């Protein structure tokens, strides 16, 4: 009897530790989800589904002979593997795997900066259609009167430091690579190596990068029009931190990995079909 009680106790303890680990894992995941929200990563990834829809419409209008069913299947597969929520999940999983509690604390210190939180609140305004219209009108007005170059350079530095434009550029380029690889597979069963895909999209990358960065600078020009340059510089100083730079680099790398793995799966499917 005592032996049975001992066995039951061990089993219960094991079950308890498993529940505790699951709870801790869930808490860490929720914390990382808040971090990618605070850093502006989520707002970039939220564009993924709309970008997929836009690319499918482009294929619909192109003379490539895709049927409505093929396009629908392509859309569903892209959303399933590379949609907004899946990309966020992949990034959070990578952060959970690679980051230590100490690194989380260092990042938290940066993200709790009052100046960064204030900017985040301003950025939320851009979800309002009226605000976006006002921003476009403001941009036209500013361009007509030649904006202050020093102020523009400062806001350009802010855009580079935040790295949101770089992430958005990579999202659009990676999605276009995915479409090229998918169309090639469906139409010719050929596969493109990564370096060839990158060369094919050099001009597209340059165009997208320029447009996104310019739009971001004018968005900041509007959102921060009442913010003194000294406070913008304070924000730049708070973001100039290895913890933030490493975090954004990992988010970018994890997103690229998601796309690369999806393309590798296409290649594997082609090889299996050839056997």
- What whole-number distance in Å separates Cα of residue 105 and Cα of residue 215? 33
pLDDT per residue as tens, the chain (275 positions):
555 555 555 555 555 655 555 566 778 899 999 999 999 999 999 999 999 999 999 999 988 888 999 999 999 999 999 999 999 999 999 999 999 999 999 999 999 988 888 898 898 898 899 999 999 999 999 888 888 899 999 999 999 999 999 999 999 999 999 999 999 888 887 788 899 999 999 999 999 999 999 999 999 999 999 999 999 999 999 999 999 999 999 999 999 999 999 998 876 654 434 44
Domain count, the chain: 1
Model confidence, pTM: 0.86
Task: Give the whole-angstrom CA distance, residue 202 versus residue 266.
Answer: 22
Q: What is the DSSP letter of 127?
A: G
Helices 2-38 and 84-98 pack at an angle, to 10 degrees, of 120
Q: How far is it, in rounded angstroms, from Cα 22 to Cα 36?
A: 21
Which residue reads 């940066």 in tokens?
110
Note the residue count of the chain.
275
Enclosing domain of residue 50: 2-274
Query: What's the angle, vertex CA 60, arms to CA 56 and CA 66, rounded to 5?
Result: 100
Tokens representing 90 are 């992949």
Q: In whole angstroms, give the CA distance from residue 152 to residue 129.
A: 24
Cα–Cα nearest to 52, from 74, 69, 68, 67: 74
- Please give the Cα distance from 137 to 131 (Å, whole number): 10
Using CA atoms, how far apart are residues 242 and 257, in angstroms rounded to an integer? 22
């Amino acid at each position: 009897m005592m032996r049975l009680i001992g066995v039951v106790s061990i089993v219960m303890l094991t079950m308890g530790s498993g529940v505790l680990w699951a709870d801790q894992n869930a808490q860490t995941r929720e914390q990382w989800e808040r971090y990618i929200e605070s850093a502006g990563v989520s707002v970039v990834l939220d564009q993924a589904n709309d970008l997929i829809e836009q690319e499918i419409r482009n294929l619909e209008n192109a003379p490539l002979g895709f049927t409505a069913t093929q396009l629908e299947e392509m859309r569903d597969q892209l959303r399933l593997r590379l949609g907004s929520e899946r990309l966020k999940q992949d990034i959070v999983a990578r952060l959970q795997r690679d980051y230590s509690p100490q690194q989380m604390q260092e990042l938290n210190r940066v993200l709790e900066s009052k100046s960064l939180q204030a900017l985040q609140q301003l950025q939320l305004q851009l979800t309002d259609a009226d605000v976006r219209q006002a921003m476009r009108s403001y941009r036209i007005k500013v361009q007509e009167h030649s904006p202050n170059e020093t102020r523009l350079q400062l806001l350009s530095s802010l855009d580079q430091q935040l790295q949101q434009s770089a992430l958005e550029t990579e999202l659009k380029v990676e999605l276009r690579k995915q479409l090229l690889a998918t169309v090639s597979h469906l139409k010719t069963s050929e596969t493109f190596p990564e370096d060839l895909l990158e060369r094919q999209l050099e001009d597209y990358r340059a165009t997208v990068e320029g447009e996104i960065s310019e739009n971001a600078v004018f968005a900041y020009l509007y959102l921060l029009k009442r913010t003194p340059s000294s406070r913008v510089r304070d924000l730049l100083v708070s973001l100039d931190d290895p913890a933030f730079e490493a975090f954004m680099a990992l988010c970018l790398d994890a997103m690229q990995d998601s796309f690369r793995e999806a393309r590798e799966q296409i290649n594997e499917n082609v090889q299996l079909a050839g056997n």
